[in-house]
Amino acid sequence: MKKKTPEVRDIERGEILRFLVEFYPDAVTPKMLLYHLDDAALSVSEEALRFHIVYLTQKGFATFELAPKVVGEETEIRSVKVTPAGVDFVDRRKKGEVGIRL
């Protein structure tokens, strides 16, 4: 299988963030993200999606909730939602802009 370029991975993360913003402040399940990426011709594996979710979380753009730990199994991500910082990113606010105007 052809290895994805960093650019494609960036685009995938962008699409994930865009989809999460649609449902802000609600959360969505990873399965919904997989379906959406399929629709957008950006299919990813479950592992790749998990990688992207953790990446976006560590960047402060998303948060996720884990299912209770089962011994011997990898912890499952139950739901993901975008943070206000993620919304700002999709809205292309520059650093320092608070997202409020008076």
Asked if residue 59 binds other proteins (CB under 8 A), the reply is no
Taking the complex as a whole, the smallest distance from the CB of residue 15 to other proteins amounts, in Å, to: 6
Question: Cβ(37)–Cβ(49) under 8 Å?
Answer: yes
Q: Name residue, tokens 């402040």.
A: 25
Question: Cβ(49)–Cβ(30) under 8 Å?
Answer: yes
Asked if residue 73 binds other proteins (CB under 8 A), the reply is no
CA count, 13 A, side-chain hemisphere, 86: 27
Q: How many residues bind other proteins (CB under 8 A)?
A: 26
Closer residue to other proteins, CB minimum distance, 40 or 59: 40
Q: Which stretch binds other proteins (CB under 8 A): 38-46, 53-61, 93-101?
A: 38-46
**What is the H or E stretch that residue 84 is in?**
helix 84-90
82/84 Cα distance (integer angstroms)? 7
Contacts with other proteins, residue ranges (CB under 8 A) = 5, 7-8, 10-11, 14-15, 18, 22-23, 26-29, 31-32, 35, 39-41, 65, 67, 78-81
